[in-house]
Amino acid sequence: VVERTATAVVIETGPGRVTLPLTRVEQIVEGRSTLVTFQERAGTGNSVIVSRFGDGPFTDDAAKIRDEVGAVKVEIGSGVNVPQPSLEALAKACELPFRKDATKMLLLITDSPPKVVPENRIPAAVRDTANLIKRANIDAAHLVNWERDKNDHYAPLLNAGVSKEPGKFFSLKEV
C-alpha cells in the first residue's frame, strides 16, 4: 500500500498504481485470527490452549485479538521452564479449521527453544513440524525469536510453508 485516503487505497503494482475504493478492499481482504498459547510449568507439564471467540477459534475483530494477547500472563519465577512446547502449539495450530480458500499464516513468538524429550531429538521434531505445516497447506510460518534459537532450532520452519516465499524472521532484540 502506497497511500490510504478516507475513501481509497493506492497500491503499487510494479509498472503502475491501482486505486481501490475502501469498500472494494473490504470485499477482497478479509482477515481472521486466533491465538494459540503455550507454556511448560514445573510440576504441571505442558499447556497448549487455543482461544475461543464465540462459536469458534477465529475472529475478524482485531480488538478481541488484542485483548486476548493482553490477557496472556507471564509470571517470572513461577516455575515456568525453558524450553517450551512451541512445536506442540504449532501442531495444534495446523489442526485449526481454516477456510479452504484462505491464506494461512502462522506466527510463532517465543523466547525459548522447543521442548523435545529426549533433547537430541529436537532437529527431527522440528523437521516433523515443518512437514506438518506443509501437509496442513499453511502458506507461511513466521518467527519472532532470538537469533541463536532460530539458527540452532527453528530455521527449518521458515521454509515449511507452501508459498514460494519463505517465512520472515524477526529478532526479539529488535521488536
CA distance 73 to 41: 13
Contact indicator for 144, 108 with CB cutoff of 8 Å:
yes
The per-residue pLDDT for 74 is 61
Hunting for cell 502449539 — which residue is that?
Answer: 89
Pairing of β 140-145 and β 169-171: parallel
Per-residue pLDDT of the chain (175 residues; tens, 9 = 90+): 445 556 655 555 445 555 655 554 444 445 788 989 888 766 667 888 899 999 999 988 878 887 888 787 665 555 556 788 999 999 999 999 998 888 899 999 888 899 998 999 999 999 999 999 999 999 999 999 999 999 999 999 999 999 888 999 999 888 7
Predicted confidence at residue 51, as pLDDT, reads: 92
The pLDDT, as a whole number, for residue 28 is 45
* Residue 131 in grid coordinates: 512437514
Model pTM above 0.85: no
* Per-residue cell: 51: 482461544
